[in-house]
Structure 1
Amino acid sequence: MISTTLPRILYLAYSFKLIIYSFNNSTPVGLPLSEVK
């Protein structure tokens, strides 16, 4: 179970980090994400 849950946690953390990183830098990637929300 650890081998299957660990990649998920890393993937979620990585995706959240990308979203926060794009919002902080106000890159074009962060604009569509803010519009979706």
Structure 2
Amino acid sequence: VEVEFSDGSLFSLSAEFLRVHSPAADSKIRTVGGEK
């Protein structure tokens, strides 16, 4: 995943990085997976 900020900074993040470092995204993934 590439994220570009308004100041021109560009970051490339792997799915693993997002899964480990983003509890909100992890919660959404669990919801989609059928777990509550």
What is the TM-score with the length of structure 2 in the denominator? 0.33
Q: Greater strand percent: which structure?
A: 2
What is the TM-score with the length of structure 1 in the denominator? 0.33
Q: Greater helix percent: which structure?
A: 1
